[in-house]
Amino acid sequence: MTRYVYLHGFASSPQSGKAQFFRKRLKERGAELVIPALDGGDFEHLTITGQLRVVDAAVAGEPAILFGSSLGGYLAALYAARHANIEKLILLAPALQFPERWRQRYSAEELESWKRNGSVSVFHYGLQRETPLGYALMEDSMAYESEPEFRQPALVLHGAGDAVVPFRISEDYASRHSNVTLRVFDSGHELTDVLEDLWEETYRFLDRVPEGRQPASDRV
């Protein structure tokens, strides 16, 4: 039976508006959406490798459809490229090219300071406060490919006004991958003002939503 798993964005949580929106829509059709906390309760030591372990536990070796928002979209692509049991992907403003684009956010001096101090302060949207983030995320991310080559059908939903992950990145990726369908909306990175439009495209892409089973927990 197909499992539905939602991967939230960077410094977010299972309580994110988009995650809960998709959970509600799927529940209305008899399917459950698993939404793991990707930091495993330890945001300071967040890494790509650690998040992929959380995804692996949430998928539990079953056939699955992955939803991924921003960094969660990049993680979904990485995971799908490595696991044939993933059937489809719905990627919302996926943070493709994450390793190099993340590094470009900081000057050489800022990166050196971050590495020297071991952590940097970032705003965590789920916690609604500043919290430390270890340098391990930067180092670990460089071990992963910039644009994962997954083969599963994927729907990419992106805002034309996205100032965080420019939609041209998704546009270029989709133009080179026949398994990827891109839909662009008059919106920004969050896409929260076009949720119903996102669901319409998603439901059409899924074709049908078979009844899912109740997971023991939505936090891994």
21-54: per-residue pLDDT in tens? 999 999 999 999 999 999 999 999 999 999 999 9
pTM greater than 0.85 (yes/no): yes
Stretch 122-146: mean pLDDT, rounded? 96
Stretch 163-184: mean pLDDT, rounded? 98
What is the residue extent of each domain of the chain?
3-206
Architecture (CATH level 2) of domain 3-206:
3-Layer(aba) Sandwich (3.40)
The C-alpha atoms of residue 206 and residue 195 are separated, in whole angstroms, by 16
The C-alpha atoms of residue 69 and residue 90 are separated, in whole angstroms, by 9
Determine the pLDDT at residue 215: 36
Q: What are phi and psi of 183, to 5 degrees?
A: -125, 125
Determine the pLDDT at residue 217: 33
Determine the pLDDT at residue 207: 84
Pick from 29, 43, 50: nearest CA to 203: 29
Stretch 105-124: mean pLDDT, rounded? 96
The C-alpha atoms of residue 3 and residue 217 are separated, in whole angstroms, by 13
Pick from 46, 60, 95, 20: nearest CA to 220: 60
